[in-house]
Amino acid sequence: MDIQDFKDKKVWAVVGSVHNREKFAYKIYNFLKAKGYRVYAVDPSGKDVDGDKSYVSLSSLPEKPEAVDMVIHPAKGGSFVDEAKHLGINYIWFQPGAESEELIEKAGSYGMKVVHHKCVMVEFK
């Protein structure tokens, strides 16, 4: 998969414990914002992020993201991959630790463009 295809997407959702400053989801959310992307926090806890609203699902976002960055444990990621398919989101990035062979295969079987075993913060520098 061409990383440039992902870089060209301007609206992102970051899925994970985005509210927790110690977690990579928080760091990636802020990294993408600083790079000029429109980014939505999808945090299953529903806790806001530094005053920004977070959402508990992709369906509840005010607009459909072009890409989803998965920073959530693989055991919890399947429902978000299914939801992304249902919404017609075709770009899924699995951060290291958020991927599993099952999730990668599922996203691929849905026809999604998938990146895994790579970090957005490294690839988008």
User: Residue 39: which of 9, 2, 59 has the closest Cα?
Assistant: 9
Instruction: Answer yes or no: pTM beyond 0.95.
Output: yes
Domains defined along the chain, listed by start: 3-64+82-123 (3.40.50.720)
Q: Is residue 88 over pLDDT 70?
A: yes
List pLDDT tens digits, range 14-29: 999 999 999 999 999 9
Percent of the chain residues topping a pLDDT of 90: 98
Q: Is residue 2 over pLDDT 90?
A: no
Looking at residue 83, what is its pLDDT? 98
Task: Say if residues 54 and 43 touch (Cβ distance below 8 Å).
Answer: yes
pLDDT band at 1 (very low <50, low <70, confident <90, very high): low
* Mean pLDDT within 60-76: 97
List pLDDT tens digits, range 26-42: 999 999 999 999 999 99
List pLDDT tens digits, range 94-116: 999 999 999 999 999 999 999 99
Looking at residue 31, what is its pLDDT? 98
Q: How far is CA 121 from CA 13, 56, 61, 86, 87, in A?
A: 15, 23, 23, 27, 26
